[in-house]
């Protein structure tokens, strides 16, 4: 993704609390966009990749900023993808694109459906390409994904957008 991508990217990854993961580093090194871990009430700006912090849910507020929340885990996950998807649907409606990748439970499926119903572009990674297919499968099963794409196709899409 280039530094003039024009959009904000929010990345929600299931991760354990208290353990620094390499994900931040990976992103920071491989993206030409500005890269940040989200803090509470941070303004959402284009050309930035935001990563949801561990042990909090990340929500999108109407004022175009992030709100964090420590409430109960959803599908044993905090951050939960459903929570972020549902609040993004409420604020951005058809103006957002959501992609659901590999994962070991069904977090994200309901949220993706909410997004699809509000007119957002929704994509699930092809379960054949997913290390853990349960997550994209759950979304496909409830018809939440408008497109099911191979990893290579998703990468192409992100680059071209």
Judged by the rule CB under 8 A, the positions of this chain that interact with another protein are 18, 38-41, 53, 55-56, 59-63, 67-72, 82-83, 86-87, 90-91, 110-111, 113-114
118 by Cβ neighbours in 10 Å (0-12 / 13-18 / 19+) ranks as middle
Per this entry, what is the length of the chain? 161
Rounded to a whole number of angstroms, the minimum distance from the CB of residue 73 to another protein is 9
Nearer to another protein (CB atom), residue 47 or residue 118 = 118
Rounded to a whole number of angstroms, the minimum distance from the CB of residue 52 to another protein is 10
Nearer to another protein (CB atom), residue 57 or residue 126 = 57
56 by Cβ neighbours in 10 Å (0-12 / 13-18 / 19+) ranks as buried
Rounded to a whole number of angstroms, the minimum distance from the CB of residue 29 to another protein is 21
Rounded to a whole number of angstroms, the minimum distance from the CB of residue 122 to another protein is 13
Nearer to another protein (CB atom), residue 86 or residue 126 = 86
Are the C-beta atoms of 112 and 100 separated by less than 8 Å?
yes
How far lies 47's CA from each of 14, 64, 69, in Å? 23, 14, 24
């Amino acid at each position: 993704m280039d530094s003039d991508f024009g959009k904000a990217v929010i990345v929600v990854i299931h991760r354990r609390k208290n353990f620094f993961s390499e994900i931040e580093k990976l992103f920071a090194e491989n993206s030409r966009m500005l890269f940040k871990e989200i803090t509470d009430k941070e303004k959402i700006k284009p050309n930035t990749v935001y990563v949801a912090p561990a042990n909090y849910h990340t929500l999108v507020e109407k004022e175009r900023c992030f709100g964090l929340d420590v409430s109960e885990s959803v599908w044993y996950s905090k951050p939960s993808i459903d929570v972020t998807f549902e609040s993004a649907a409420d604020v951005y409606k058809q103006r957002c694109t959501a992609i659901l990748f590999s994962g070991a439970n069904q977090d994200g499926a309901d949220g993706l459906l909410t997004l699809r119903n509000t007119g957002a572009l929704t994509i699930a990674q092809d379960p054949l390409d997913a290390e853990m297919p349960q997550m994209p499968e759950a979304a496909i099963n409830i018809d939440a994904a408008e497109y099911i794409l191979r990893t290579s196709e998703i990468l192409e899409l992100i680059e071209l957008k």
